[in-house]
Chain A
């Protein structure tokens, strides 16, 4: 079984984000970057499938600047066999451009399965994985929390409002991973040592400029401070009043 996993380098969810001087991107200085957590579920699932099958290959593909090599190494340390970096001058903004570049790389790769995270925690577009499927003309199931494969067929579960949706599909397919699919492993010492020696192909790509232009990037407004209206039962009328007239939630 040959599996590709598309991964992205994103700022750590704990990072304190500042807007850059141009007002159109973030100031990357002093920011820690990580492997997108949803892509980690995708990597873990690929490794589990390969282990269950007893053979096969797991390849990670990523897109971006040379700094992304570090992110690919993190996946290699988890156990992925090799990495491909589609190198660009800057991190692409348009999911379509990214999806086109990924699809072009994956098209003739002979992959049985392509896994992605359901969303990257930087731009929250939820777009790239399903776009890759569309461009390749193969089935796609998004935000899966459970997966079973047998004989070129797959069954995936998606958590939907108030229930679980079960989707059957044929391989090859693109699946995007939701939290709960698995518990990603920590890289082991041996894995980190071996990761340094695993192949990582760097291929420069030209991205379609795409249809998205960032005009302005702003931080969300600071949340208003809470207020203690009083203590005990005596405070209830004041609380109800505040909820009705100020917060307007009652």
Chain B
């Protein structure tokens, strides 16, 4: 068979909207909240913290609305265990949320001392001037796991109910209004039958539901689809694979690279950040609009470690943690036309608040949480949480630096659609003109619509020390999901071998394989990165506490 191409969209199952949005009345016994944040990441926790601060401020001034019950649902067993980022953090949103604290009080590792950017070939590293969007002076190296745990402590101290280990399985709807969420039950056997420690789903009824599920959130996707909320361009994603290394050689700067080992028609790059003298954050991000069906981000990251630039730091060190996550990369033109509705607001990565050229999302996520809290508080105070009141959230976001920053870099990521070098040139011009070049929008397709060439790949075998297999990787993610959990990944029936192979390469955790003439899904391996949800089998919520247990990612 010559030069076959796969269009991933053709074998992608539809989003199970009827499962993700339930219009039946809530169960008899419900938990009532004023506001529930779905997702205990930077967006949801910043929102919960700001909302409790606003409530407290007015109550103390004698002008308040009394006690307000705020909940945060998190699918990981403990806050932070599903959070993964580089991360270089702009402290702006921390300062806004905690005006009385100093930068040294925040859960950062160290200030960025120096930036270096390289273009790699297989053996060489050519240092280039740091692109204007990639200067990190004033930013901090941090672990998002640590950030999230710290924010969780602040939230709990303010009286927020943090429910870790409780994924939201569906939105509860009444007409067009979102009235809360239903959690995922726990303790089901392989075929969905309750076991000895079964715990049924619980319904949380809330005046406002704030979706802060993170990248490729299922409920947010379902809500956009249900309400026909479009965007100028479809949202696009990249997959990042990250490793944490204890090393002997200290690194004195943050490093970013482009070029090898990525094919020229793929968009992405690597990073290496010093977290402490002997702890390195290292990873690779590749846009999911890649063109080669055998492209494998985990494997590319393993090859990258053999490059002298990285090898001299990593060799002889010890891999401590491994993880993977997708990143919404669509930017300004992929923002949903509204991020609010009756009883609902959508924050952070779930709304697409990521700026790819500066590689930042955490402070946008937190700021969107802060602005959502302000809108929610006003709505609660007015006793009206309808779409017209919550539209205040979108207005605040549109006027904020979130949309301002994303607007300025609106065409940079799309420019790389045409390849790395032309893309680099265009991106440079865009930065110089404050986003005005080329004076028009470069339209983007959904990742699943980009054709992928079927070809052969050079097999890579990991040495188990410097480079690791996907199975070892899953172990290093701390994933100890029980084997008899019902599968949460939905694939189409009759997937052919080439498509199955594409899934196998795409998934960094070895979930998919071609075995006995069919696609086999090893669902417990899944680390919730959501990559195949973008290009293939759908991800749905599963029992709380499943998946990775990241500690310092």
A124 within 8 Å of B (CB atoms): no
Chain B residues within 8 Å of chain A by Cβ, number? 22
Asked whether any CB of chain B lies closer than 8 Å to the CB of A53, the reply is no
Query: A16–B320 contact, CB under 8 A?
Result: yes
> Which of B163, B196, B551 lies in contact with A192, CB distance below 8 A?
B163
Picked from B78, B187, B202, the residue with its CB within 8 Å of the CB of A189 is B202
B466 to chain A, nearest CB (A): 15
Q: Is the CB of A185 within 8 A of B163?
A: no
Residue from A16, A183, A190 within 8 A of B202 (CB atoms): A190
- Does B165 sit within 8 A of A, measured CB to CB? yes
B332 located at the interface, meaning its Cβ lies under 8 Å from any Cβ of chain A in the complex: no
**Cα(A188)–Cα(B544), bound, Å:** 11
Of A16, A32, A185, A190, which is within 8 A of B78 by CB? A32
- Chain B 150-187 residues near chain A, CB threshold 8 A: 161, 163, 165-166, 183, 186-187
Task: Say whether B327 faces chain A, with CB atoms less than 8 Å apart.
Answer: no
In the assembled complex, the CB of A165 is this many whole angstroms from the nearest CB of chain B, namely 25
Give Cα distance in the complex from A138 to B144, angstroms. Answer: 50
Shortest beta-carbon distance from B164 to chain A in Å:
9
Q: How large is the interface on A (under 10, 10 to 19, 20 to 34, 35 or more residues)?
A: 10 to 19
Q: How far is the CA of A183 from the CA of B189 in the complex (A)?
A: 14
CB < 8 Å: which of A30, A184, A186, A192 contacts B552?
A30
Q: Are B161 and A14 in contact (CB under 8 A)?
A: no
Query: Given contacts A16-B320, A32-B78, A196-B161, are A186 and B186 in contact (CB under 8 A)?
Result: yes
Q: Are B196 and A183 in contact (CB under 8 A)?
A: yes
Please name all residues of chain B whose beta carbon is closer than 8 Å to the beta carbon of A14 when the two chains form the complex: 478, 480, 549
Q: Is A218 at the interface (CB under 8 A from chain B)?
A: no
User: How many whole Å from B471's CB to the nearest CB in chain A?
Assistant: 15
In the complex the two chains form, is A188's CB within 8 Å of B551's CB? no
How long is the Cα–Cα vector from A6 to B551 in the complex, in angstroms?
28
* Contact between A189 and B204, CB atoms less than 8 A apart: yes
Check A185–B161 contact: CB distance below 8 A: no
Contact across chains for A189 and B196 when beta carbons are under 8 A apart? no
Binary contact track A188-205/B, C-beta < 8 Å → 1, others 0: 111011001000000000
A193 nearest CB neighbor, chain B only? B161
| Residues of A165-185 whose CB lies within 8 A of B | 183-185
A31 and B161 CA atoms in complex are apart in Å by 23
Among the interface residues A183, A184, A186, A192, which one has the most CB atoms of the partner chain B within 10 A?
A186
Are B197 and A185 in touch, CB under 8 angstroms? yes
Q: Shortest beta-carbon distance, A178 to chain B, in Å?
A: 17
Contact A189 B197 (CB under 8 A): no
Shortest distance in angstroms between A40's beta carbon and chain B's nearest beta carbon?
11
A76 to B196 CA separation, bound complex (whole angstroms)? 20
Closest-by-CB residue of A relative to B544 is A186
Tell whether B31 is near chain A: CB-to-CB under 8 Å.
yes
Which A residues are CB-close (under 8 A) to B78? 32
B199 at interface (Cβ–Cβ under 8 A)?
yes
A14 to B78, alpha carbons, bound, how many Å? 13
Contact B166 A189 (CB under 8 A): yes
| Contact A183–B204 (Cβ < 8 Å) | no
B482–chain A nearest beta-carbon distance, Å: 12
Q: CB-defined interface of B350-387 with A at 8 Å, one 1/0 digit per residue? A: 00000000000000000000000000000000000000
What are 21 sample pairs from A and B whose C-beta atoms fall under 8 A apart? Answer: A14-B478, A14-B549, A16-B320, A31-B551, A32-B549, A32-B551, A183-B195, A183-B196, A185-B197, A185-B199, A186-B165, A186-B186, A186-B187, A189-B31, A189-B183, A189-B202, A190-B31, A192-B161, A192-B163, A193-B161, A196-B161
Taking beta carbons and an 8 Å cutoff, which residues of B are in contact with A? 31, 78, 161, 163, 165-166, 183, 186-187, 195-197, 199, 202, 204, 320, 478, 480, 544, 549, 551-552
The 10 closest A-B pairs by CB, nearest first: A183-B196, A189-B202, A183-B197, A186-B199, A186-B186, A30-B551, A30-B552, A185-B197, A189-B31, A193-B161
